[in-house]
Amino acid sequence: MEAIPEQNRTLEAQDTRDHYVAGLLSVCDGWKDPQHILFQLANACFVISYASPSSVYGVLFMHSALIFGFMLFSFWAWNIICAPDIFSWNFTFMLLNMGQLVYIIYQRRPVKFDPELEEAYQTLFHPFKVSRLLFKKMVGSDFAQIMSLHAGEAYAMQNLTRTDRLGLLLSGKVNVMSDHQFLHPIMPCEFMDSPEFESSRATTDDKFKVSIIAATSCRYLYWQRSSLEYLFVKETYLATVITTLIARDITTKLYAMNKKIVTDKGSHLDIRLPSITSSLTAEFKSPPGNLRKNTVLSGVYPASPDSVFSSRERLCSKENGTVLPNGRLLEMEPLTELPSNDDLTSNNGVESWLETSSKYHSCEVVDS
């Protein structure tokens, strides 16, 4: 007998919920008057903000319009309808958009550098669309240091200094020497040790094969290898840019060494000739005993293309320990062009080097 009233109350509650749900889907019998003008202006601000473009200035305009719209909503909720919950939500949204606006403006602030760093940024990094903020992070005290050298001081000594850093010359002039023999100069906005840095990325125990001596008072920026590797993991695009700049700098230095390759008659040899490049890669195709003895290099062939990068001094090496005062090689004979081999399957050594030529990016050789 007591279960019947409880069942009736359950049925009445169910009927009430059904009636309430049906009311949500029904048509309104009477419409209320339009809301206050503040409500209308706030929604107009929202319409304008959502129609803004997706550019940087468009995003700034969008957040500004949203701030104004939520502020009008807050005034309407506090003064007109006196609804604290509506006021609280809209005031919170206004504060969030204000924070976003301040952050975007802070990101757009002008970043200024010293004249030396400004020249390096405009010459090397600005063409690759590296932002000023990212460049500032790269040259900051957390990753880099700026040092000075007086004339005659050494940045690196042959067979003594470890190749565990990367230097960028900001001002002055530096000479590269090998056994007291001048190889080539280094000018501002050029890397000082890009061949050594690239060739010794697998180990930090390698030593410089050349000496880098300041010819004038100069200033340079340098990074420790560990700091750069940590930065490259976080900034992959910057890693790509630095890899490209280093490769271009190495190529420039090798072509500068082309002036050192001359015969006893005074004629220059081009390191791009097939006879020269074939001798550099001949070890991948034939035993060392079958290689030609009188080559541009001193008969000690590099074990990989990496060692070519670290051996800029070999392009001006001695023949039997004797070099003429003008830098010419004795008994230099023009090389006959070696037959080329277009079959990529026979270049397993070169192909394996290409696949691991960068610590951060890999290359693929596709069989044609």
pLDDT in tens, 136-150: 999 988 899 999 999
Which pLDDT score, from 0 to 100, does residue 124 have? Answer: 93
Coil vs helix vs strand at 185: strand
- Find out whether 143 and 228 touch, Cβ atoms under 8 Å: yes
pLDDT of 265: 66
> What is the pLDDT, as a whole number, of residue 271?
60
The pLDDT of residue 251 is above 70: yes
What would the two tokens of residue 20 be?
């309430």
With residue 181 as reference, give the H or E element that holds it.
strand 181-186
State which of 66-80, 323-337, 349-363 shows the largest mean pLDDT.
Answer: 66-80
CB-CB contact of 103 with 111 (8 Å): no
Are 282 and 291 contacting, i.e. CB atoms less than 8 angstroms apart? yes
Q: Name the most confidently modeled range: 112-116, 168-172, 251-255, 287-291.
A: 168-172
Distance, in Å, from the CA atom of 204 to the CA atom of 126, rounded to the nearest integer, reads 30
From residue 111, give the alpha-carbon distance in Å to each of 117, 127, 172, 242, 306.
12, 17, 25, 21, 38
Q: Where are the domains of the chain?
A: 34-109, 115-258, 261-340
Sequence-separated (6 or more) residues with CB below 8 Å from residue 12 = none
3-state secondary structure of 168: strand
Q: How confident is the model at residue 351 (pLDDT cuts 50, 70, 90)?
A: very low
pLDDT of residue 239: 92
Long-range CB contacts (within 8 A, 24+) of 341-346: 341/285, 344/368, 346/285
**pLDDT tens per residue, range 68-92:** 999 998 988 888 888 888 899 999 9
Q: Residue 179: is its pLDDT beyond 70?
A: yes
pTM of this prediction? 0.57
Q: Which tokens belong to 223?
A: 């990074």
Is 35's pLDDT higher than 90?
A: no
Spell out the CATH class of 115-258: mainly beta
Please say whether the beta carbons of 232 and 303 come within 8 A: no
Quickly count: other Cβ atoms within 10 Å of residue 123's Cβ: 12
- When pLDDT is averaged across residues 216-236 and rounded to a whole number, the result is 92
User: Which percentage of the chain shows pLDDT scores above 90?
Assistant: 32
Q: State yes or no: pLDDT of 329 exceeds 50.
A: no
**What is the reported pLDDT for 243?**
92
Q: In whole angstroms, what is the distance from residue 152 CA to residue 324 CA?
A: 25
Given a cut of 90, is residue 188 above it in pLDDT? Answer: yes
Rounded to an integer, the average pLDDT of 124-132 is 92
Range 254-267 burial, b when 16+ CB lie within 10 A, else e: bebbeebbbeeeee
Least confident of 31-40, 78-87, 318-327: 318-327
Q: What local confidence, expressed as pLDDT, does residue 331 receive?
A: 43
What are 259-268's pLDDT values in tens digits? 666 666 666 6
- Assign 299 a pLDDT band (cuts: 50, 70, 90): very low
C-alpha 171, offset from chain centre = 23
pLDDT value of position 111: 85
Rg (CA), the chain: 35
Q: Residue 25's pLDDT is what?
A: 61
Instruction: Return the pLDDT at 66.
Output: 92
